[in-house]
Amino acid sequence: RILKLVRQVPSLSKIVMALGHSIGPVCNSFFMLFIFTSVYATIATHAFKDRSQQFFGTFSASFFSLFQVVTTDSWASSITRSLFHEDGEVDTAVAFFFVSYVLVASIVLVNIVVAVLLDEFIATVNEQKEAKERQQAQEREEEWDEKRITGVLDPLTSSLTLFNDNEDLTNM
């Protein structure tokens, strides 16, 4: 029933087609994000293991903590605050690590995923539009062919249509 609904509503059909076409490029974008997060998780595990065992004790804990940072789910208050000094002083290395990660991962890479989705949506819409125009042109041509009168003089008249002016006709 849902498939019938998708087929009957053109705008919903466009969205579903665009999502279907964008699966590959979006997976590539997520793979880039995965690689980038893995590199940062490895660095975080080695750099912050002693400061915050809960968030950075293992690679998987570091990866999950950085996933929380990408989603901006209370990362500033829970994850990064545990890495600062006891007296509340900001550690420049920690701040640089997280600011660089947030800038690249949250802002750049997540926006790449959105850009890929938009690009695939636009490409799918244009592809559907061109297919519809081709179909309409073919229907017009078939309609014109049906209306055309055929007879004995068709070979002669078709050869005469190849000439542009009187000079072309005399140079034959």
The residue type at 16: V
Q: Check: pTM over 0.75? Answer yes or no.
A: no
Rounded CA separation 117/171 (Å)? 58
**DSSP-derived 3-state class of residue 161:** coil
How far apart are alpha carbons 148 and 25 in whole angstroms? 48
- Return the pLDDT at 58: 94
Q: Which helix (H) or strand (E) holds 137?
A: helix 110-147
Between 23-48 and 92-101, two packed helices, what is the crossing angle to 10 degrees?
170
Question: What Rg do the C-alpha atoms of the chain give, in angstroms?
Answer: 31
Q: Is the Cβ–Cβ distance between 117 and 30 less than 8 Å?
A: no
Residue-wise pLDDT tens digits, 101-133: 988 988 888 888 889 888 888 888 888 889 999
Residue for token pair 């950075």: 56
pLDDT tens-digit series, residues 9-44: 777 877 888 888 888 888 898 899 899 999 999 999
CB 44 within 8 A of CB 63: no
